[in-house]
Amino acid sequence: MSYTNTKGIVIREVSTGEADKIVTIFSRYSGKMTGFAKGAKRPKGALAAGTQLLCYSDFVMYKGKDMYNIQSSEVIEPFYEIRNDIEKLTYAAHFVDIINDIILENQPAAKVLQLFLNTLHMLSKTDRTPGLLARIFELRVLSLIGYAPYVKGCMECGSSDLDIYSFSFRKCGCLCSKCCSKDEYAMKLAPGTYMALNHIIYAPLKELFNFSVSQEVLYELEKLSRRYLKDRLEKDYNKLDFLKELKL
C-alpha cells in the first residue's frame, strides 16, 4: 500500500453514514483530490479537525478503488475567524464556488491555490474590505486560468494612450477614446478603476493586496468583475447577493 502525503484545503464536505465524510481537497500538486474520512463527524475523532470545510491541513492518505482514504490530518490553518463571521463566511463560500468550478482532479494549480490561501488569509486576519478582496480574487484567478482581460492598451487600435478609459466585454479588454464608440455597450471606467485593474492583473503576488480604492472605484470594479466572471465561466455567481439582503 502506497501512502501519499499532501498539503491542501478542504473545499467540499459531504456526510456519509453516521460518522463519516467524503471531502474534496484542493492540493498544490494534484488539484482536486477526493478523500474518505472515516469517523470525521465524531467531535473527538482523529480526523474531525483537519477535514472541516476551509481547513488547510497536512494529509496522509492512500489510494483506494474510487477515492483516497485519509489516514491522518494535521491542521496547518483552520481559518476560524472566517467560520465565526457570517459576512466573511459568505465571501469565502463565493471563492469556494469558483474554485470548485475551475479546478480539476489531478491537474496541478499551485498558483491558484496560493492566491486562494492568500485571499483567505487577508479575509480572516486583516481588516481589508471584503468586497475589494473579492474583486481581486475574481479578476486574478481568471487571469491565472487564461482569461486575463487586455488592459495594456486599446484592443482596437493598439494605442497605449488611454485618455478615456472604457472596457469592452465583447472584446475582453480596454478601448481608447477614439475606438470606444465601436462598442456601444463598453463600460466607461474612472482612471482609478483602470489603475486598480492593471494592478490586480499584473502585480506580483506579494504586492497584490497592497492598495485601497474609493467607493466609486470599488463599485465600478464590482460591476466589471462580476459581469466578466459570469461571461467567462458562463455562470452567475450570486452567493454575495445574500449579504445585500441582510443589510436591507
Exposed / middle / buried, residue 46 (Cβ in 10 Å: 0-12, 13-18, 19+): middle
Q: Quick: pLDDT tens for 159-216.
A: 777 666 799 999 999 998 888 888 889 999 999 999 999 999 999 999 999 999 999 9
Q: Give the mean pLDDT of 95-100.
A: 98
Query: CATH 1.20.1440.120 in the chain, residues?
Result: 81-246
Round to the nearest angstrom and report the end-to-end CA distance of the chain. 56
pLDDT of residue 138: 98
Query: From the CB of residue 208, how many other CB atoms can be counted at a distance below 10 Å?
Result: 19
C-alpha cell at 38: 472515516
- pTM of this prediction? 0.94
Q: Cell 445585500 maps to which residue?
A: 244
pLDDT of residue 247: 63
C-alpha cell at 15: 456526510
Q: Quick: pLDDT tens for 110-154.
A: 999 999 999 999 999 999 999 999 999 999 999 999 999 999 888
pLDDT of residue 164: 65
CATH of domain 81-246: 1.20.1440.120
- CATH number for domain 3-78, candidates 1.20.58.220, 1.10.3720.10, 3.30.1050.10, 2.40.50.140: 2.40.50.140
- For residue 102, the number of C-alpha atoms closer than 13 Å in the C-beta half-sphere is 26
Query: CATH 2.40.50.140 in the chain, residues?
Result: 3-78
Q: Quick: pLDDT tens for 41-73.
A: 998 899 999 999 999 999 999 998 889 999 999
**Residues 107/99, Cβ–Cβ less than 8 Å:** no
b/e map of 232-246 (b: 16 or more CB within 10 Å)?
Answer: bbeeebeebeeeeee
Q: What are phi and psi of 188, to 5 degrees?
A: -75, 135
Q: CB neighbours of 95 closer than 8 A, spacing ≥ 6?
A: 116, 119, 120, 134, 137
Q: How confident is the model at residue 248 (pLDDT cuts 50, 70, 90)?
A: very low
Distances (CA, A) of 21 to 33, 60, 74, 199: 14, 16, 17, 40
pLDDT of residue 1: 64
pLDDT of residue 123: 98
Q: Give the mean pLDDT of 66-92.
A: 95
